[in-house]
């Protein structure tokens, strides 16, 4: 039952991530525009250039705020990543524990021989 609920949760998170894909793309474009305009504003020498890059940065910031539902998609992707990592690495931890316990058993057998 636990695996079934985990698979269902992963399915719901996948649907949420796909549904917010457009917002994620818009968010990334807006964030890149803000970053680029900020870097260019710092390099600009004239006051008019700094003002122009600042206006472009504000436009990019409005694009970022307009695509704010992308935060939900980013959260869904993060949860999917951590769930996948735990699912794959959880089985490795059990095998590592089993191999360590079998090492202890083998060590005790060897020590009893001497």
pLDDT above 70 for 5: yes
Task: Tell me what pLDDT residue 48 has.
Answer: 95
Name the residue among 19, 30, 18 with its Cα closest to residue 63.
Answer: 30
The answer to whether position 5 is within a domain reads no
The answer to whether position 64 is within a domain reads yes
The answer to whether position 3 is within a domain reads no
Note the residue count of the chain.
114
Task: Tell me what pLDDT residue 99 has.
Answer: 59
The answer to whether position 9 is within a domain reads no
Q: How much is the average pLDDT of 50-55?
A: 95
- Predicted confidence (pLDDT) per residue in 76-90, tens digit: 999 999 988 888 876
- Domain interval for residue 59: 15-113
The answer to whether position 7 is within a domain reads no
The answer to whether position 2 is within a domain reads no
As for how many domains the chain has, the answer is 1
Statement: the pTM of the whole predicted model exceeds 0.85: no
User: How big is the chain by its Cα radius of gyration, in Å?
Assistant: 26
Structure tokens at 63: 């694009």
Residue 104's pLDDT band, with cuts at 50, 70 and 90, is: confident
The answer to whether position 56 is within a domain reads yes
The answer to whether position 55 is within a domain reads yes
- Predicted confidence (pLDDT) per residue in 27-48, tens digit: 999 999 999 999 999 999 999 9
């Amino acid at each position: 039952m636990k695996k079934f609920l985990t698979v269902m949760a992963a399915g719901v998170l996948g649907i949420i991530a796909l549904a917010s894909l457009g917002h994620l793309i818009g968010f990334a474009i807006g964030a890149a525009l803000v970053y680029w305009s900020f870097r260019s504003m710092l390099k600009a020498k004239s006051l008019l250039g700094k003002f122009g890059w600042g206006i472009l940065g504000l436009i990019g910031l409005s694009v970022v705020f307009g695509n704010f539902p992308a935060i939900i998609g980013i959260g869904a992707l993060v949860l999917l990543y951590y769930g996948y990592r735990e699912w794959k690495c959880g089985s490795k931890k059990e095998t590592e524990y089993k191999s360590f316990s079998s090492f202890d058993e083998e060590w005790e057998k060897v020590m009893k021989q001497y």
